[in-house]
Amino acid sequence: MAAAVEPRPAPPPRKKLSRRAPPDRSQALRRAFQAAFLALNVWIGAQFYLFVRYYESGGRTVRASRPPGVEGWLPIASLMNLKVLLATGEYPRLHPAGMFLLISFLSMSWVFRKSFCGWLCPVGTISEYLWRLGRRLFRRDWRLPRGLDIGLRSLKYVLLGLFVYAVASLSVDAIRAFLGGPYGIVDDVKMLNFFRSLGTAGAAVVAVLVVASVFVQNFWCRYLCPYGALMGLASLASPLRIRREPDLCIDCARCAKACPSALPVDRLVTIRSAECTGCMQCVAECPAAGALLMAAPAKKRVPAWAFAVGVAALFLGVCVWAQWSGHWRTDLPARVYSDLTPHADEFTHP
């Protein structure tokens, strides 16, 4: 007698796609923010270069004032000043703008995910477009094996830990002595000189990072940036999350393919990872209406324009308050810059 053949289970019914309308505009808005912030940093860099050249030349070139925004490129000094503020309640006299920029970026991350990295950071913007260039040239994406990827991601947290330990181990008096000494006063000039006099080793490192960014999306940000690691840790407290609605999801996995942090968006209900930059590329790629959204508590959708307004409001609000309250500029006599700037490379780290 022939054995009974069990019927095959019926395949699950395919979900009907309900296309959203109008199309998502978040990426056009994000690119506008990236371009504006990159242009701002180029302008700051040009003005700071003119400021330095004026004092290096003994006043024979165009005179420009020192742009306070250059202090945003001094994250260690900003951390030091933040420690002094928290310990004493006193605002710093040297490099205060850097501290307030750090506060604004941390505030963004606390409320709007790691939005500084995804919406504003000029290094992240350049890295992203290097990868886009590579994808256009080679017509494919390169992703490291998952085990190697996770291991390399930890490097930026190790670097962050070293910097935090170094700052935490200094007393308030030691920080003030360091920042008030010749090295601390012209550390921004030394930073400029590093790139102006880039040696063979430095040029090789920069070249490797550029080439790696062409092939691996956001290579520097993903694996090595301690600033991004700090923003990621702050973002864990954010009330906003990318949320997937399983009932509306059609399991196309386009969201996961679009995620610059390679997060498995298509397999999770909410994205809580410190790697999420709030860029909304996954939301922009999702074809199903309501299946993927940036959500506030109680599943309330946060539209891209509201997200962008919040990021801009926090950034501008902190900076404007610092200027209004008189805690934005480093006010030193011109003779200090005249004496120290031409000899910046002579000062060694104390």
pLDDT in tens, 335-350: 999 999 999 888 887 6
Check: pTM over 0.85? Answer yes or no. Answer: yes
- Adjacency order of strands within the sheet including 241-244: 270-271, 241-244, 292-296, 300-301
Side-chain-side CA neighbours of residue 309 (13 Å) = 5
Integer Cα distance of 190 and 209 in angstroms: 22
Integer Cα distance of 186 and 337 in angstroms: 8
Q: Which of 89, 36, 91, 57 is nearest to 330 (CA)?
A: 91
Residue 142 is predicted with a pLDDT of 82
Contact in structure between 304 and 280 (CB atoms under 8 Å): yes
Q: Angle at the Cα of 277 (from 275 to 281), degrees rounded to 5?
A: 115
Integer Cα distance of 247 and 198 in angstroms: 55
pLDDT in tens, 142-168: 888 888 988 899 999 999 999 999 999
10 Å Cβ neighbour count for 304? 18
Domain ranges for the chain, please list them: 26-53+66-237+304-324
- Given a cut of 50, the residues of the chain with pLDDT beneath it are 1-2
Instruction: List own/partner pairs for 252-260 with CB under 8 A and 24 or more apart.
Output: 252/287, 252/288, 254/285, 254/286, 254/287, 255/282, 255/283, 255/285, 255/286, 255/292, 256/282, 257/285, 258/282, 258/284, 258/285, 260/118, 260/128, 260/217, 260/218, 260/222
Residue 8 is predicted with a pLDDT of 57
φ, ψ (nearest 5 deg) of residue 216: -115, 125
Both tokens assigned to 100: 């307030």
Residue 19 is predicted with a pLDDT of 65
